[in-house]
Amino acid sequence: MIKHNIDRNILSEDLRHQRRRLGAKSPHAFADVYLKNNCNAPYSIMHFEMFQKLQYITRCRKAKVAIAAPRGHAKSTIVSLVYVLWCVLYQKERLILIVSNTTEQAVALLKDIKQQLRSNPLLVSDFPEVCSGKKPRPWRDNQIQLPNGAMIRAYGAGQSPRGIKNDKVRPGLIIADDLENEEQVESEEQREKLRSWFSGTLLNTGHQYTNVIVVGTILHQNSLLANLVDSQRSPGWDGKTYRAIIETSDFPEMWARWSSIFRSRDEYKGKTGAAGAKKYFRYKKEWMLKGTKVLWPEWDSYHDLMLLRQTEGDIYFQREKQNRPMDPRRCIFKIENIIFWDDEFHDTQHLIEAIGNRARFFGACDPSMGRTAKADYTAIIVLLKDIRTKIMYVIAADLLHCTPDQAIQRIVQYADIYRFSRFAVESNNFQQLMVDDLKRRLLLKGRKVYIKSLHHNSHKNSRIGSLEPHVSQGFLRFNRKHQELLRQLTQFPLAKNDDGPDALEMAVYTATQIKIVGALRPSNKYRRW
């Protein structure tokens, strides 16, 4: 019995040494060995890159690293928990500062570290001299000192850690984790105050070999983090920005339909709202997910992220998940100024019937030469204009990732439905070939449509901005189903894409520059895609 106990003790001791040696290799290995319970899903590419970066800067000092990550993607777990524990347990750092927006937030991060040191059975077993040894001094809310000589201090933004030392050693690692908040970044004065404190006080707390790591989510286009991840604005900093959605769907029109169903403005197989959207996604899933790529699929799927975008709004989504904050004050088109014609008319057919022989139809296409999600959208806009009131109604807004041939097919289909008075196509550079092909295809179909080639000389932003009086005065009205167009319009000029507003401006220009006589009625071939 005694021999068996001795054998078990030897085996246990051997396992402890093996775990400890394995964890010493890297922060990644340490997390796999000791913190499996904190990793609820497989690592993402962001996590792997962060682990590699952290291991590298531990050897190669003087690093200044800035990482903008989506909210909820475990950035604090990797940097402020795993890495800090690895550094103090293996004596990589003598003094670490953890700084957050408030002292309470920084103390909460320190509390997580304390919890692991006190309660993680593997750490207590394998590092008894640190976790179970006699503490040099009692732990405080904002400070812990370990028996191996390592110290961790927690501070809030704006506090002065100048002169802080651990046995004459200045901080060798400074971690700024979520240093900013939504309210503070809105004030230019507060942004400048934080920037001044960060550069003048915090960065001067360390020594010549101190590593500085800033992690968070970009809350404002001119926030501290937004500047640090930009190498042009912050030379000398190693910055990286991650987004929850890396590649969007090849079929945005399907997601637009899904959005309309989710918002109860459309239905699918007799169902609407969340139930209808769920059913639509189940039947169309293969196509809707084609071309998509997300940062952490096991945690935030593309469908989950699109649901969040619907429930929380696009401004929240772009800021918290995509690190693309929008300042509504800089956006030209205000949602409160937009009039939606579908509040009055149930669908396009009812609108056309109400306007009667006063209706004229115009269209425009801003073509893209690519089919992939990386390419720009091909935007096709169809307007109905009431020639008496001069009000223009957006009745179709297709924003697609498609080839020129597919775009031509869609325009020809619309020409079958609506008798266009005029249709405009941007024809800069090689796009003139598409214009010529469109004319030929319409002629073969027997459709007499005047195709106007537009060569833009003026700046795009000026052209799109000229739509604002039409929108705010109610002469250009929209349908809530056209979610992607509305998103691009209300975020202009800050949105990543503006193909929809660009095509809309072309259609409005075409509809307002021509004098029409005679009545042209649409065919009865109303069709949905």
Single out the residue of 127, 131, 129 nearest to residue 21, CA to CA. 127
pLDDT of 514: 65
Query: Closest Cα to residue 373, out of 396, 397, 399, 398?
Result: 399
pLDDT of residue 430: 60
For 329, the token pair is: 């004050």
Residues contacting 425, CB < 8 A, separation 6+? 364, 365, 367, 431, 434, 435, 438, 451, 452, 453, 454
Looking at residue 136, its pLDDT comes to 67
> 390, exposed or middle or buried, with CB in 10 Å at 0-12, 13-18, 19+?
exposed
Q: How far is it, in rounded angstroms, from Cα 295 to Cα 76?
A: 16
Distances from the Cα of 139 to the Cα of 102, 152, 189, angstroms? 20, 10, 36
**pLDDT in 10s for each residue of the chain, 529 residues:** 444 454 455 657 889 999 999 999 999 999 999 998 887 889 999 999 999 999 999 999 999 999 999 999 999 999 999 999 999 999 999 999 999 999 999 999 999 999 999 999 999 999 998 987 667 677 899 999 999 999 999 999 999 887 788 888 999 999 999 999 999 998 999 999 999 999 999 999 999 999 999 999 999 989 999 999 999 999 999 999 999 999 999 898 899 899 989 988 889 999 999 999 999 999 999 999 999 999 999 999 999 999 999 999 888 999 999 999 987 778 889 888 999 999 999 899 999 999 999 999 999 999 886 555 556 789 999 999 999 999 999 999 999 888 889 999 999 999 999 999 999 998 776 667 888 888 888 888 888 888 888 887 778 888 999 999 999 999 999 999 998 999 999 989 888 889 999 999 999 999 998 655 444 445 444 333 3
Per-residue confidence (pLDDT) for residue 515, from 0 to 100: 59
- Give the helix ranges, DSSP H, for 210-347: 224-228, 252-262, 273-288, 302-312, 314-320
Cα–Cα dist 430/442, whole Å: 20
DSSP string, 166-220: BTTB--SEEEEES---HHHHT-HHHHHHHHHHIIIIITTSS-TT-EEEEEE---S
Q: What is the pLDDT of residue 527?
A: 37
Burial class, 183, CB count within 10 angstroms (exposed 0-12 / middle 13-18 / buried 19+)? exposed
Q: What is the pLDDT of residue 520?
A: 46
Q: What is the pLDDT of residue 528?
A: 36
Q: What is the 3-class SS of 386-442, one letter each residue?
A: ECCCCCEEEEEEEEECCCHHHHHHHHHHHHHHCCEEEEEEECCHHHHHHHHHHHHHH
Region 2-242: CATH code: 3.40.50.300
Q: CB of 330 within 8 A of CB of 374?
A: no
The answer to whether 2-242 and 335-512 have equal CATH topology is: no
Residues across the chain: 529
C-alpha to C-alpha distance for 261 and 306, rounded to whole angstroms: 13
pTM attached to this predicted model: 0.81
Per DSSP bridges, beta strands 293-294 and 392-400 are unpaired
Cα angle value 374/376/311 (rounded, 5°): 80
Alpha-carbon distance of 6 to 220, in angstroms, equals 61
CB burial of 420-446 (b: ≥16 within 10 Å; e: otherwise) equals: bbbbbbbbeeebeebbeebbebbeeee
Fold of 335-512: Nucleotidyltransferase; domain 5 (3.30.420)
Three-class SS state of 145: strand
Please state, in angstroms and rounded to a whole number, the distance separating the CA atoms of residues 478 and 459: 24
| Residues in CB range of 98: below 8 A, 6 or more apart | 80, 84, 106, 109, 110, 152, 153, 154, 155, 175, 177
- The structural domains of the chain, with segments of one domain joined by +, span 2-242, 247-325, 335-512
- Of the candidates 500, 464, 458, the one whose C-alpha atom is nearest the C-alpha of residue 479 is 500
Question: Strand pairing partners for 398?
Answer: 380
Q: Closest Cα to residue 317, out of 70, 74, 46?
A: 70
Cα first-last separation, the chain: 77
